[in-house]
């Protein structure tokens, strides 16, 4: 059992290098991870496995001078090799025979002075190698920028959301550009891609001022490692076009609703006043005009028809603008 203190990256002048940084392979393949450092008196090289979602690192084994020692669980499909006995830069390797997705993990190499339980020597770690053992076919992402919500129309800040979806595996990184210049302020990207069935998705958000949103061009780029090359997939959005459509639609809808309400109320008051006026005239005419008079009878008919027509028109207008 080893007792070591962890020291990541460059520590006290000791720099540990691991190559490659990423591997994507199929079950049945063999992969070799290489570890180097220049500290000639560090003659122990340790290898660790950190599985996805696990904060702990499991010891695979270590190389002491040129003698490999493997943990029991890793003896069958893992092999450590190298010669640390020479007084030159140290080189070691970890060979993995790939059997399935359970071997997908980040593998770390560490350099130490001695495998002594009581000594508490520091272990100086490399940057790690990320290995993915494929379960499905490699698929590139689809990238889309979503404009700010209409709820942000009156806000001084706007939020753009970049969604990358449908990719496998999850070897991706995201960055934003404003007018082709990389932007890091106001950027918040998911720590990890989210898996659903046979693919992954990831989102990134960019907060900008309303002024910048209306006048500049925004680009979201997703860098995807397909096992051979790093490919970039982008989407761009110019704020002014969408701001005009989304915000105008939202504001226009509210304005139209308000205006329609005012117009309805005004028409209703006008028609009510007109109706009251003619009823008053009708009552007055009945008092002063004999009902047997043909002229009075004709007048009353005209008044009734006019009131009826105005009432119908009022109802129709209210229906049309509601």
Q: How many CB atoms lie within 10 A of CB 214?
A: 17
Among 105, 112, 126, which residue's Cα sits nearest to residue 35?
126
Distance, CA of 322 to chain centre: 41
Q: What is the pTM of this model?
A: 0.69
Q: Do domains 16-133 and 142-250 have the same CATH topology?
A: yes
Cα 6 from chain centroid (whole Å): 33
Tens place of pLDDT for every residue, the chain, 322 residues? Answer: 444 444 554 445 689 999 999 999 999 999 999 999 988 888 899 999 999 989 899 999 999 999 999 999 999 999 999 999 888 888 999 999 999 999 999 999 999 887 754 456 788 999 999 999 999 999 999 999 999 988 887 888 999 999 999 999 999 999 999 999 999 999 999 999 999 999 999 999 999 999 999 899 999 999 999 999 999 999 999 976 556 555 656 555 544 444 545 555 555 555 665 665 556 565 555 555 555 566 666 666 665 666 667 666 665 655 554 4
CATH of domain 16-133: 2.60.40.10
Query: Which pLDDT score is estimated for 14?
Result: 80
Contact 80, 68 (CB under 8 A): yes
Cβ atoms of 112 and 122 within 8 Å: the answer is: yes
Q: Domain 142-250: state its class.
A: mainly beta
- Specify the pLDDT at position 255: 47
Peptide bond into 20 cis (omega under 30): yes
**For 181-293, where are the alpha helices, taking DSSP H only?**
210-215, 239-288
Pairing status of strand 199-209 against strand 194-196: antiparallel
d(CA 270, CA 265): 9
Domain ranges in the chain? 16-133, 142-250, 253-320
């Amino acid at each position: 059992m080893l007792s070591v203190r962890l020291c990541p990256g460059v520590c006290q002048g000791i720099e540990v290098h691991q190559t490659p940084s990423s591997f994507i392979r199929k079950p049945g393949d063999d992969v070799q991870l290489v570890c180097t450092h220049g500290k000639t008196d560090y003659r122990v090289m340790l290898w660790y496995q950190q599985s996805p979602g696990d904060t702990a690192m499991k010891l695979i084994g270590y190389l002491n001078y040129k003698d490999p020692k493997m943990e029991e669980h890793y003896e069958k499909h893992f092999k450590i090799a190298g010669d640390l006995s020479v007084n030159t830069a140290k080189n070691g390797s970890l060979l993995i025979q790939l059997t399935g997705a359970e071997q997908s993990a980040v593998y770390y190499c560490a350099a130490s002075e001695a495998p002594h339980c009581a000594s508490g020597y520091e272990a100086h770690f490399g940057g790690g190698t990320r290995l993915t053992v494929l379960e499905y076919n490699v698929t590139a992402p689809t990238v889309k920028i979503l404009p700010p919500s209409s709820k942000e129309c009156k806000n001084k800040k706007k939020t753009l959301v970049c969604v990358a979806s449908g990719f496998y595996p999850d070897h991706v990184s995201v960055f934003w550009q404003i007018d082709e210049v990389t932007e890091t302020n106001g950027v918040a990207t998911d720590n990890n891609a989210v898996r659903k069935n046979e693919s992954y998705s990831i989102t990134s958000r960019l907060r900008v001022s309303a002024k910048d949103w209306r006048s500049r061009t925004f680009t979201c780029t997703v860098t995807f490692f397909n096992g051979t090359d790093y490919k970039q997939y982008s989407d761009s959005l110019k704020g002014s076009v969408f701001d005009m459509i989304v915000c105008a639609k939202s504001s226009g809808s509210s304005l139209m609703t308000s205006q329609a309400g005012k117009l309805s109320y005004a028409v209703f008051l006008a028609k009510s006043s007109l109706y009251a006026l003619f009823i008053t005239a009708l009552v007055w005419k009945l008092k002063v005009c004999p009902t047997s008079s043909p002229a009075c009878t004709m007048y009353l008919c005209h008044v009734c028809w006019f009131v009826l027509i105005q009432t119908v028109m009022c109802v129709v207008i209210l229906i049309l603008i509601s």
